[in-house]
Amino acid sequence: MKVFAQTLDLKPDPQRIAEYDRRHEAVWPEVLQGLRAIGIEQMRIFRHANRLFMIIETDDSFDPARDYQRYAEDPRTQQWDQLMREFQQRVPDADSAPGAWWTEMREVFDLDAQLGALASDGRADKDGA
């Protein structure tokens, strides 16, 4: 399984933010099916004020460059994307990659990985320190 984390801002308008939240209570079926069809197994979006954080879990064959293009070929998913962009804006220090909208986030901590390393190094005592 691959995991991706991305961030994006909503335009700082409380009414628009509420509308964005409302629209995500019932995402169009074609969008849901399209995401699943390209290998996205789980997608969650969190919001604080106007900042969004999205975490995506995919199958191991997922390639963002290839698979998002496939997703974007469907007219209904294109329509959803255009609608959502009316609410969104890139974060101030966004990636400069052409066509990038959501900004990739770098992982800095993984509890499972560190616990696994700790156990294999034999560094953990019975108190977990």
Does the annotation count 48 as an active-site position?
no
CB 44 within 8 A of CB 54: yes
Catalytic hit among 11, 24, 51, 85: 24
d(CA 67, CA 35): 9
CA geometry: angle at 12 spanning 11 and 17, to 5°? Answer: 75
Helices (H) and strands (E) counted in the chain, each on its own, are 5, 5
Residues identified as active-site: 24
